[in-house]
Chain A
Amino acid sequence: MSKYILIAILNFTTVCFVSAQQKKNDPVFDNWFAQQPQPIMPQTNTPPPPPGVPLDGGLIALIAAGGAMGYKKYKDRNVE
């Protein structure tokens, strides 16, 4: 029984120690769980790029239309 109490106390002490170190921002275990301080980046005032004028949106529809026109052409030829 005393063995379990000893392990529990040891775990509790370790957790307390690690959390205390992390609060101080000390690199214990490379400080994995702590929030790393973010570098301050200068805010650039770059405007968003101008809008594009795409044309390729209906390519599949155009290919399908080509297939349908070809089908109609050969179907009409067979009827004649």
Chain B
Amino acid sequence: MSSAAFSDKGFRDFIIRFLSTLVVLTIIYEAYLWFTEQQRELDWITYKVSELSHALATALGVANCEFSCFMDGCRIGVEGKMINVLEGCNGLMLALVYASYIVGSGGYKWSSLVQVIVGIIVVQFFNVLRIGILVVLRDIGGDAYFFFIKYVFNVLIYISILFLWILKPYVDRAFEKEV
């Protein structure tokens, strides 16, 4: 990416929209986190992701799966084999980067808003699936847990975001046909 790329107005506008949206959304999110910290509460997103992951792990057959939340995060799993779902595990920062790209690329349009909402749901779906399966793997034991936590699930979520970005032009075309 050379400096000549920034002389292209379209690309320059994209970068400005992408980064400014990311900064604004991050500031709003950080302010929300600060507010919940002042209230001595856990943020709602981490709580909901943990709650759904716990429900999934229970549905997948983890017996005596416990769920307890504190100010810094939630603990899910069988006693002695729990995992800690902290704020950095809730996947929202990834969703914000995804949303910023959609707004940067497509501008402030209704189709962008729809794609942002669908994308956030997809990212959170994969995240809940990831944490639920991690609870199951930790219950089963062995090295598979560490392999999955370190490589498989993170790569899966990042690839899903890149896939949604690649799909974006096709979704835009579908919206244009509808209109």
Chain A residues in contact with chain B, CB under 8 A? 47, 49-59, 61-63, 65-71, 73-75, 77-78
Among candidates B15, B84, B97, B101, residue contacting A53 with C-beta atoms closer than 8 Å? B84
What separation, in Å, do the CA atoms of A51 and B89 have in the docked complex? 11
Among candidates A50, A53, A71, residue contacting B130 with C-beta atoms closer than 8 Å? A53
B11: nearest chain-A partner, CB-CB = A74
Determine how close the nearest CB of chain B comes to the CB of A5; give it in whole angstroms.
67
Interface residues on B, range: 35 or more
B11 touches A63 (CB 8 A): no
Chain B residues in contact with chain A, CB under 8 A? 1, 5, 8, 10-11, 14-15, 18, 22, 73, 75, 77, 80-86, 88-91, 93-94, 97, 100-101, 104-105, 127, 130-131, 134, 149, 154, 157-158, 161-162, 165-166, 169
A65 touches B162 (CB 8 A): yes
B101 touches A69 (CB 8 A): yes
What separation, in Å, do the CA atoms of A1 and B89 have in the docked complex? 77
B9: nearest chain-A partner, CB-CB = A74
Interface of B, helix, strand, loop or mixed by DSSP: helix
A55 touches B89 (CB 8 A): yes
B154 touches A55 (CB 8 A): yes
Can you list 10 residue pairs at the A/B interface with Cβ under 8 Å? A53-B130, A53-B134, A55-B127, A62-B97, A63-B22, A66-B18, A67-B15, A69-B166, A70-B18, A78-B8
Among candidates B82, B104, B134, B158, residue contacting A62 with C-beta atoms closer than 8 Å? B158
With a cutoff of 8 Å between Cβ atoms, the chain B residues found around residue A58 in the complex are 154, 158
With a cutoff of 8 Å between Cβ atoms, the chain A residues found around residue B105 in the complex are 70, 73
What separation, in Å, do the CA atoms of A75 and B80 have in the docked complex? 54
A70 touches B149 (CB 8 A): no
B86 touches A50 (CB 8 A): no
Determine how close the nearest CB of chain B comes to the CB of A60; give it in whole angstroms.
10
